[in-house]
Structure 1
Amino acid sequence: MVYRIKQFVWAMVAKMSIEEKEFVNHYLSEKEKELFYKLRVYEQKHSLRVANALKKRAGKDQQVEYIRLGLLHDIGKSEYPLNPIEKSIIVVLDHLTKGKIQKMSHLKMVKCYYYHGNISYNLLSEAGDYNLLFLEAIKDHHSAKETSNSLLKALKECDDLS
């Protein structure tokens, strides 16, 4: 619960520095940047934290792929960008209903919260040519299923900590 409060505070004060924008611009293509910058600033900052956590885990030859994975994993949230209050409401309702609110996925805010991985997968599939393991990691980063995909394992761990 303390972590959720910390996330809320981060969301309320989020700002992108010039250095952070340069970092994003260095690693993403024009189309990817277009998708990334549609995210709310607090979601951009979260993606940067995930990208930096993944960078620390990656070997030298994997860094670019891991950074890009972190930056792009939540771009599906741009389809219906939730403000921090809306996101807090969904998180509380998810907890109170023990996930049953997911059945109301006809509501855009619920659909975006639960299915942003699938939306991200679809957006990236349309935007370019990506490795299947990369796309799978993005699509399933909130899935509970077991996997041998090292990208997915790393993304899940870093996303949960950021």
Structure 2
Amino acid sequence: MALYRIKQFYWGITSRIDFQDENFLKQHLNEKELMLFNRLNEHEKKHCIKTAMDAEKICLKNNTYNKILIKAALLHDIGKIEYSTNLIEKSFMVVLNKLFKEKMKKYKKYKVVDVFYNHPENGYKILKKYNYDERFLYLIKNHHNNDIIGDKELDILKQCDNKN
């Protein structure tokens, strides 16, 4: 697992949005969504694109193309636009969370901690203003909720998010 986290860090520092990524975004997001998406920092954008591309592959493999799931994968971390963590902060939080589980939540007065734990809820609140349907908002709000199992779309989103 540690080696995989190092690989993820490397992906983060080398993240660049390319032509294929731009086309993928234009295919799945409207103009307002693109403006919102572009408020994420570069490594978060690339993470969301990779998450969505993996979700799309799973959908196509299962002959169940799902536009809502792919859009949710692209926008699942939108709650991070209010405070953009850099890769060092993000990596630090991943390690602390692994070592201390959820005990770090009590330090939510620090923005980096708050965003790490509460970006799904923050994303839900941001996107709710745009009148998305409840299913889409549910996916955003619960993409880190490990208490929910057996929801096929949410499970795919969590799997792809964790992989990237």
TM-score computed with the length of structure 2 as normaliser: 0.90
Mapped partners of 1:51, 1:75: distance in 2: 13
Q: Do residues 51 (structure 1) and 52 (structure 2) align?
A: yes
Q: Secondary structure at the match of 2:72?
A: helix
Unaligned runs of 5+ in 1: none
Report if the CA contact (8 A) 1:134-1:151 is conserved.
Answer: no
Q: Secondary structure at the match of 1:79?
A: coil
Report if the CA contact (8 A) 2:69-2:136 is conserved.
Answer: no
Mapped partners of 2:136, 2:119: distance in 1: 15
Unaligned runs of 5+ in 2: none
Counterpart selection for 1:123 from 101, 123, 126: 126
Report if the CA contact (8 A) 1:70-1:155 is conserved.
Answer: yes
* Displacement over 3 Å in runs of 4+: 59-63
Measured after TM superposition, the shift of residue 146 of structure 1 is 2.4
Aligned residue-pair number: 161
Identity %: 37
2:163 maps to 161
Matches within 5 A, 1:80-95: 80-95=83-98
Q: Secondary structure at the match of 1:58?
A: helix
Measured after TM superposition, the shift of residue 14 of structure 1 is 0.6
Measured after TM superposition, the shift of residue 2 of structure 1 is 1.1
Structure number with the bigger relative contact order (C-alpha 8 A, sep ≥ 6) is 2
Counterpart code for 2:98: H
Mapped partners of 2:127, 2:139: distance in 1: 12
Counterpart selection for 1:71 from 70, 74, 94: 74
RMSD: 1.6
Measured against aligned partners, the alpha-carbon deviations of 1:8-30 in whole angstroms (never above 9, x if no partner) come to 11111111002211211221122
2:29 maps to 28
Counterpart code for 1:74: D
Mapped partners of 1:35, 1:21: distance in 2: 14
TM-score computed with the length of structure 1 as normaliser: 0.91
Q: Do residues 96 (structure 1) and 96 (structure 2) align?
A: no
Q: Secondary structure at the match of 1:38?
A: coil
